[in-house]
Amino acid sequence: MNTLARTLIAVLLAAAAVPAGAQQAVNPIHPLVAPLDAVGRPARTSAEVSADTTCGACHDARWIGEHTAHGAGQAKATCLQCHVDGGKLEVTPATLGPDGRLRRDAIRIGSPRPANCGACHGLVTGTGAPVALPADFEASPVPGRAWTLTQGEGAVVSPQRVADSFLNVAGKETRTGPWDVHAAKLVDCVACHYAGNNPGRTDQRREELRYVTDDPRRISTAEFLQRPDHRLAEPDCRSCHDALKTHAFLPYRERHMEVLACQACHAPDPVGPAVEMVDATVSTQAGRPAVVYRNLDRAEGEPLNAAIIRPLQPLLVVKTAADGARRLTPVNVVARWRWISRADGQEIPFTLVTQAFYERGAPAPSVLAALDANRDGTLSRRELRLDTGAKVAAIAARLRSLGVVDPVVDGEIEPHVISHGIQGRDRALKDCAGCHAADSRLGGDFPVAPYVPGGVAPRPPDAHRIDLAGVIGPTLSGGLEFRRAPDAAPGGLHVLGRSRQSWTNRVGFGLFLAVLIGVLLHGFVRWLLRRKARAAIRARAPVPLKEEYVFGRYERLWHWTMALSGLVLIATGVVVHNAGEEWPVSLATAVTLHNAFAVALMVNAFLALFYHLVTAAIRNFIPHPRGLLGSVLEHVEYQSRGIFYGAPHPENPAGHKLNPLQQLTYLALLNVLFPLQIVTGLLIWAVGHWPSVALAVNGLQIIAPLHNLGAWLFLTFFVLHVYLVTTGREVGEHLRSMVTGYQTVHADDSEPQGA
């Protein structure tokens, strides 16, 4: 379908698609009220009605105004906008009684309905006509209408299916669920955003509802109605949901719930038109700021309902929640520039900005001279930018002529937390690689603005509430983008698979590579000199040999159980630390296998320790100090020279299966490396289950790299151990003895000869 056809269809659909919702019922208990104007006189029209005066006759309007976030800054919502059907009282001769009070059937007052909230915050619809963007979605800004819900979060609150909407959402045929699962369940706005002193919501925990009636600190309903606290609650999802009772598929779910906001997985890709940048330093001919959308493919002049909306990829940042926990939370970053007066720091009304740009509906001559690059008498979207000092000076001069004192450009970054447009379990993010892979959504550059108005860098948000944990830098095209360190995660979190253990990887891999190269060179020299070695062995006097039972059944079982567990732990550890690659098992499965074989290894180690202590076989691992140095040097000389020329293997100490080099190696392995891996592994497991442990050990930032280093050392030992198995009289002799238990020894020697 071409652009023209899409545009025509979108216009027709938008005209027909009005946010639906049944009319609010008549309030049968609200007193009849006389509509008054600002000075207390009877209001003759709806426009004259003053909310403070009319509602203040019964409610403490002054106290409410001091305890609300809806009456400050750009939020200029009134009682009528939120609590009255349609946002205003209908004052006509038909609605007024003979005493000047509204008739009962004209009083449609109650708790704020979704349509009331949507009138200011964004697109909120019912079950009627399919979702479409209203005609005033891009209208000039007015007090009280911020559209932060849709333009800020990219969210649409509607029970309708995305696939049934009139919006051109990319891949909409696959989105068979609702725009918002809470709206589909008939959960309205006030269910979450209620008055802070509402006596019916004193205790959010459902299992303790008795305190709603028993708590002596609870205010009465009459007190609440007179002074409702309009600093509305912002409850966490945990107020209603117990995430620990679900998410059984998720490894370490306690840890995930501690550091992840629910929206991180349940609002992974909003599909509403989200804003990237608002440039209120300029005005379009329609009297609107220049707006750049983040996820919109839109041709010049194309209506929003015809443009293609791509799923938004939010930025994950660390946000301090209401309970004090710092969690990874998805946000959309909106860069906003405006004119302010340097004298008082107040934002200049946008109507004055529009007047500065246009005279009698056309660009002012001085504005055209500064901005019209191609001299065609109009200002295109590309030309409508204050990207040079001369352009800024021209508009500042126009503002000063309109009475603005010392106008300057000011910029700020507004992070909009994505807390609406929540998806159900079928649309929730379940791919572990989404966060744990090296190229996951925790990293990468995030566009902030395609250009910088006035060359003014925007101020970052309050780091105490939202920690962007990165830097904002310029792009080659003259814009701005948010950058993180390549291997870092927000908030200093150590995310397995995403966070690279750089120093432990370098040290561990360096040691592994050195041993591997040494083993390969040693084996290559043995292969080159194999004929000389065989000749030397044949030249020696023949020695009678015999088969002797050396390794008991339990020793062999212990050895192969330990070997299998170690190999599985190394393999699954590779999957965990390199999530997102094509592996035979998923990350969740790898974690489960890793933990299961870690338990098997620890149990096997404990039983082996018990066996070696009870049977006194532990003596095989303890070198005798007398003559130790000489014996070690003798074995070193054999491995570095004698083995190449067929020299006889040095004898082990009397009564020992292991030579001194093996004894020292196993002492380090069993007393240092093995405990290190067990302790760090248990701590990693504990961090995943108990937040207090994570706090005590600073998360995984220290223990995970140490565990990673231990894994490299184990892998290095494994390579060396496998190679030494081949250094017997025959290449497979030692391997065969660990399978059968029998080893070839001198017939006149009752003690076995180790490798």
Each residue's pLDDT tens digit, 719-745: 988 988 888 777 878 888 888 888 777
Range of the domain at 442: 310-492
Q: Which of 7-21, 235-249, 424-438 has the lowest mean pLDDT?
A: 7-21
Task: Please check whether residues 365 and 473 belong to one and the same domain.
Answer: yes
Q: How far apart are CA 71 and CA 60, in angstroms?
A: 14
DSSP per-residue codes, 406-421? SEEEEEEEEEEE--SS
Q: State residue 409 phi and psi, 5-degree precision.
A: -85, 135
Q: How far apart are CA 388 and CA 395, in angstroms?
A: 11
Each residue's pLDDT tens digit, 78-97: 888 889 888 888 888 888 88
pLDDT at 718 over 70: yes
Write the DSSP symbol of residue 344.
T
Q: Which residue has the tokens 């959309």?
A: 332
Task: Please check whether residues 536 and 679 belong to one and the same domain.
Answer: yes
Task: Please check whether residues 452 and 589 belong to one and the same domain.
Answer: no
> pLDDT at position 371, please?
92
Task: Please check whether residues 318 and 412 belong to one and the same domain.
Answer: yes
> pLDDT at position 291, please?
92
Task: Please check whether residues 676 and 543 belong to one and the same domain.
Answer: yes
Q: Which residue has the higher pLDDT, 387 or 73?
A: 387
- In-domain check, residue 671: yes
Indicate the residue among 444, 459, 492 that finishes a domain: 492
Q: State residue 398 phi and psi, 5-degree precision.
A: -65, -40
Q: Which residue has the higher pLDDT, 205 or 636?
A: 636
Task: Please check whether residues 543 and 443 belong to one and the same domain.
Answer: no
The amino acid at 357:
F
> pLDDT at position 747, please?
65
pLDDT at 462 over 60: yes
> pLDDT at position 712, please?
93
Q: How far apart are CA 14 and CA 25, in angstroms?
A: 27
Q: Which residue has the higher pLDDT, 694 or 216?
A: 694
pLDDT at 713 over 90: yes
Mean pLDDT of 364-390: 90
582: Cβ–Cβ under 8 A, 6 or more apart, which residues?
none
- When pLDDT is cut at 50, 70 and 90, the band that residue 207 belongs to is very low
Contact between residue 464 and residue 321 where contact means Cβ atoms under 8 Å apart: no
- In-domain check, residue 722: yes
- In-domain check, residue 38: no
- In-domain check, residue 150: no
Tell me the average pLDDT of the chain: 84
Mean pLDDT of 325-330: 88
pLDDT at 212 over 60: no
Indicate the residue among 454, 474, 492 that finishes a domain: 492
**Domains of the chain: total:** 2
Task: Please check whether residues 527 and 386 belong to one and the same domain.
Answer: no
Task: Please check whether residues 448 and 527 belong to one and the same domain.
Answer: no
- In-domain check, residue 98: no
Task: Please check whether residues 509 and 450 belong to one and the same domain.
Answer: no
Task: Please check whether residues 452 and 513 belong to one and the same domain.
Answer: no
- In-domain check, residue 344: yes
Q: How far apart are CA 640 and CA 634, in angstroms?
A: 10
- In-domain check, residue 172: no
Task: Please check whether residues 435 and 358 belong to one and the same domain.
Answer: yes
Task: Please check whether residues 473 and 507 belong to one and the same domain.
Answer: no
CATH number of the domain where residue 564 is located: 1.20.950.20
**140, 433, 423, 134: which is closest to 271 by C-alpha?**
423
pLDDT at 53 over 80: yes
Q: Which of 319-323, 470-474, 656-660, 702-706 has the lowest mean pLDDT?
A: 656-660
SS3 content of the chain, % helix, strand, coil (to 5): 40, 10, 45
> The pTM is what?
0.81
pLDDT at 7 over 50: no
Each residue's pLDDT tens digit, 558-604: 899 999 999 999 999 999 888 878 888 888 899 999 999 999 999 99
Indicate the residue among 450, 467, 492 that finishes a domain: 492
DSSP per-residue codes, 240-293? T--GGGS-TTSTTHHHHHHHB-THHHHSSS--S--EEEEETTS--TTS--EEEE
- In-domain check, residue 667: yes
CA atoms 50, 54, 57, 63: torsion sign: negative
Each residue's pLDDT tens digit, 266-287: 999 999 999 999 999 999 988 8
